[in-house]
Chain A
Amino acid sequence: MTILQAAYAACKAVIASAGREPLRAIIYELNHSLSSPPPGYVDRSMLGYLARQQRSQFLGYLLVDQERARLASAPMPALIPPLSDEQRNLLLAAHSQMVALNHRALEPLLNKFPHAAEATDPYGAKLPLTAALDHRSPPFAVEAFESVAVAFQSHPGLRLAITSPPELVNTITAENLLEGVENLEREVRSDGPGKTPRELGDFLHSEPTTSGRRFLVRFLASLMSLRASLRVLDQMLYQAVQTDKPPVLDQNNIADLHHLGSSVTGEGVRLLFQPDLTTFALEPGDIVLLKAIPNMFKLEGLVLSASVSSRFGGDGDATTTLTGRIVSDILDPYARFAERL
């Protein structure tokens, strides 16, 4: 079973889980104005909005709730109604299961290089959560999560990272690893989907394959690839809590499509589409399913949205432009960049 197939199976398991419905209801409530807020408070949907900006699934809601006091004293103060204990506990349980999944998926790497944990953790660069994780009542099917975690251990980035020279890896601190991965990802993304920045291209062509610098960048790239793939996996599972199917972009809603290029850091697309109920609220970081356009565009698969902009021409005339990266079968939005280094 490929990692992508295992991820789909895990999404199906999430949809069938008993824990899904209460979480779906919470997320829906926190993103919609269902009732008037208590006096002095802003609308509850503000919590959902700020949480979505964190691009970190269930953790986003917990962090906004945790930081309510700080938000209330910010230059633009927003007094956000707190989560109820029940909501907080359910979101924490779901986030804890995601963290456990990520950890299990990276187990072979973390056994060898424990200090790479933060750099490969999709939540590693976020604010620390003060509440302790709660693994007592995982809301989703544990077996399916175990299966996808085991499947993830076949990720080529994992093999590449593990086989990196320990004498090199162990000289780098956890903080420097995180910083290195962050910088590399920023650089890879700097020219947008489908493009490889010139400096990286030059590096690929000119740097000797056996140089220490090349080993280091290859190791950082493998960590980046693992983290990005786990982010995609986590987002797929999170979206499965909310809807049975990913938002679909196909011949029935796409008005224009541009292939932005295929480079060592992946393939990019720009899609102009007419939004409907399933696609009108897309945001960067969301996963959409792109289907082939008959007689025109064969490429299809999951797309990780990088930017989304909407245009309203008046009354009901609306279009959305989404640029995104095609997600490979190992869930990597940067193709197999690390392997090519």
Chain B
Amino acid sequence: MNVRRVTTENPEAEQWRLLAQYSYEPNIRRYLAARGHGSPQQTDIEYIAGSLRQSEAYYRAAQSSPLDIAPLLAYYGAVNLLSAVAAMLSGSRPAINSHGMELVKPHAPGRIADIEIKPATGNGGLPVLSKIFDPGPPLPGGVSWTMEEILGSLPDLKPEFVGCFPSARSLTLPIEAFTSQGIVVERILVADFGQGANTLATLQAVPGFTSAYLAPQSAREFIILRRKLGASAIGTYSISGRKHLQVGVMKGKKLVAPSQEVLILMGLYALGFLSRYYSEQWNPFVQRDDSGERLVIQKFLVVALRYLPNLAVNAILGERVQFVYEVERDPSSIVVANEEELKRKIREEATAVFQDMRQR
């Protein structure tokens, strides 16, 4: 996916400005026509415009609401946003008849990380939207996911997640790319695999890893990865554009690593319905959590509110949009030499020195 850099001082406002274009009928028609959906139903156009407008309203409400109700508002915003984009991509309103997942009754009091969500199959929101926003295999129905697995799979939650749940399995591996011998090489800090983790087994659990990379090599504190030639790239990206590899989780007999859109949707549903229907667990957590877990949940909401609209923009444009704040400045008079130029300079200097020595 190409990267488009958009300069802005306020990414949150900018991404909604980009999305708001598609709350106007002519823009929706042009977009659909460009994708080969030349004669859309008027009801579908209204559905797209209305869902986008509602999602923004829910998001704004969630941002200004306390933690008591913010997750539920954010969930409704997310469902509306993803449904609108799904309609834009497919050309018609998605046939959704339920949430497509259910919250397993929690055993209060307990960790939020331990609450479970059971994805369903059929025409619920989760399976229908997963088909559009997740290139991987469908989530097996009826097999539970814990909130810990969801939180541990999101790149932007990595520091808070590791800090709060040090013994939990880390499911996202930050990549550092560099150039060596003329090719791009990637590496992962061994520490990022988690304490005592089997690095090779962890990498084998990244869906598509063996198709995308040569055998990993160990180099002191890093695991070195070289991409296979001609293979499709894998990985997911943080808000800042850092690539991560996502470790899959065995669900039923399938190794699954849902996309960030799907993970955020599941997480918001879990928190939204926990707060709505299980106040006896949610209220003490909101008011009296002293474990630090609340910080992780708050960060999850921040990420959901900031990044899901960004991912929606990416899906609409077919590009990875990165919001940056770059100031304009005069061109520098300092010329940065590349390796070849440096070598040439050194050769010239050395030749001059030798000639000078001969003349003496």
Contact = CB atoms under 8 A, between A and B. Distances in A.
A and B interact physically:
yes
Interface of A: 251-257, 272, 274, 276, 293-297, 311, 313-319, 321
Contacts of B217: 274, 316-318
Given A255-B214, A295-B230, A316-B217, A272 B224 contact: no
Contacts of B219: 313-317
A274 B215 contact: yes
B218 A294 contact: no
B224 A313 contact: yes
9 contacts: A255-B226, A256-B181, A256-B183, A272-B183, A293-B230, A296-B230, A297-B229, A314-B220, A315-B220
Contact of B214 (A253, A257, A311, A313): A253
Contacts, number: 56
Contact of B228 (A251, A313, A317): A251
Chain B interface residue bracket vs A: 10 to 19
A299 to B, nearest CB: 13
Nearest to B221: A315
A311 B181 contact: yes
A276 B231 CA distance: 20
B182 A256 contact: yes
Contacts of A313: 180, 219, 224
A251 B226 CA distance: 11
Contacts of A321: 181
Nearest to A274: B214
Given A311-B181, A319-B181, A257 B215 contact: no
Contacts of A295: 230
Given A272-B182, A316-B218, 13 more contacts: A251-B231, A252-B215, A254-B214, A255-B183, A256-B181, A272-B181, A274-B214, A293-B230, A296-B230, A313-B224, A314-B219, A314-B220, A315-B219
Contacts of B214: 252-255, 274
A256 B215 contact: no
A295 B228 CA distance: 11
Contact of B229 (A251, A276, A317, A318): A251
Interface in B153-191: 180-183
Contacts of B230: 251, 293-297
A4 B273 CA distance: 70
